[in-house]
């Protein structure tokens, strides 16, 4: 049994951040899941479900100016804004710091996750799936145009599309630079500040992340329990195949168990039937949030799911 709290944190000027917290009965740790570009808290259900079943409290949030239940439009999303939202989310999570806390990052949420961890030594580990270790390079590959041109050429298209979402390209790309992510050396610098373990699951056929960059970044990892595992035959969007997604998530949970000083061999895998039931329950809960109005008070829900 676990309890789910979902709420919209009001930030003024019609801004709000949607937060979801899942508490298990006897937690051994906390995990904070950082959504990839164009995905919502609910899209990360499978990851959350696996971690809950293995006795981790799970925390999720939808960034602002992004798909999901927070305020703003997707076309205005930026990594600079995500940096701010990560801080707001952590400031508002009802999180037991006596338990080891881990960040789960996916794709373009990696830079913000790495930067936050570099400044917060109480985070005990960073576990990442197909991380965008070099944001400029990843965005260049996605939009098929060198991002450096966008920083100098005013004639390039205002909008670009990536993973089915439209964004204001120049604003997004300039914000990468403002957030200090455009230079790969900056990413290496953040990694060098981290003392706790970091684990990367990379895909050998990833069309948006250069594996050489992943291994270059690994050289900056200081903790002996840090590692990179390359998943053969997989592309960036691992979640398109349920079997591949389940395999990747199981590896992440086992690594978190190890980092939390628990036996990874005692990992529990949910049945497909259990997963489907869980998805339906969460969908019903989030539907009630979606139709609610956010006025002068926080919209708050509390529900126990068995």
Convert the pLDDT of each residue in 231-275 to its tens digit. 999 999 997 888 999 999 999 999 999 999 999 999 999 998 999
Residue range 58-79, pLDDT digits in tens: 999 999 999 998 999 999 999 9
- Decide if pLDDT at 294 tops 60: no
User: How many Å apart are CA 226 and CA 8, to the nearest integer?
Assistant: 35
Residue range 35-45, pLDDT digits in tens: 999 899 999 99
Neighbours of 99 (CB within 10 A): 15
pTM above 0.75, yes or no: yes
Residue range 133-156, pLDDT digits in tens: 999 999 999 999 999 999 988 888
Q: Residue 118: what pLDDT?
A: 98
Q: Which residues of 242-252 are buried (b: 16+ CB within 10 A; e: fewer)?
A: eebbbebbbbb
DSSP single-letter state for residue 16: E
Q: Residue 296: what pLDDT?
A: 43
Q: Residue 291: what pLDDT?
A: 55
Q: Residue 10: what pLDDT?
A: 81
CA-based nearest residue to 109, from 161, 66, 146: 66
């Amino acid at each position: 049994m676990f309890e789910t709290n979902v709420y919209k944190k009001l930030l003024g000027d019609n801004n709000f951040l949607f937060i979801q917290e899942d508490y298990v009965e006897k937690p051994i740790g906390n995990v904070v899941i950082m959504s990839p570009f164009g995905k919502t808290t609910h899209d990360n259900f499978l990851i959350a479900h696996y971690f809950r079943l293995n006795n981790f409290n799970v925390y999720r949030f939808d960034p602002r100016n992004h798909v999901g239940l927070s305020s703003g439009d997707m076309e205005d999303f930026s990594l600079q804004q995500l940096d701010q939202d990560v801080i707001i989310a952590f400031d508002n999570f009802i999180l037991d710091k006596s338990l080891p806390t881990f960040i789960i990052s996916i794709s373009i949420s990696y830079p913000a996750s790495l930067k936050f961890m570099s400044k917060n030594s109480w985070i005990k580990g960073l576990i990442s799936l197909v991380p965008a270790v070099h944001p400029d390079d990843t965005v260049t590959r996605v939009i098929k145009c060198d991002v450096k041109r966008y920083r100098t050429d005013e004639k390039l298209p205002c909008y670009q599309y990536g993973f089915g979402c439209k964004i204001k390209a120049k604003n997004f790309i300039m914000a990468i630079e403002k957030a200090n992510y455009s230079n790969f050396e900056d990413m290496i610098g953040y990694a060098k500040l981290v003392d706790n373990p970091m684990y990367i699951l990379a895909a050998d056929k990833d069309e948006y992340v250069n594996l050489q960059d992943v291994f270059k970044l690994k050289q900056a990892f200081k903790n002996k329990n840090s590692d990179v595992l390359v998943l053969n035959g997989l592309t960036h969007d691992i979640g398109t195949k349920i079997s591949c997604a389940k395999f990747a998530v199981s590896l992440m949970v086992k690594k978190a168990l190890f980092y939390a000083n628990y036996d990874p061999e005692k990992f529990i895998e949910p049945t497909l039937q259990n997963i489907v039931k869980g998805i339906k329950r969460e969908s019903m809960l989030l539907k009630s949030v979606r139709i609610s109005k956010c006025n002068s008070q926080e919209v708050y829900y509390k529900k126990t799911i068995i």
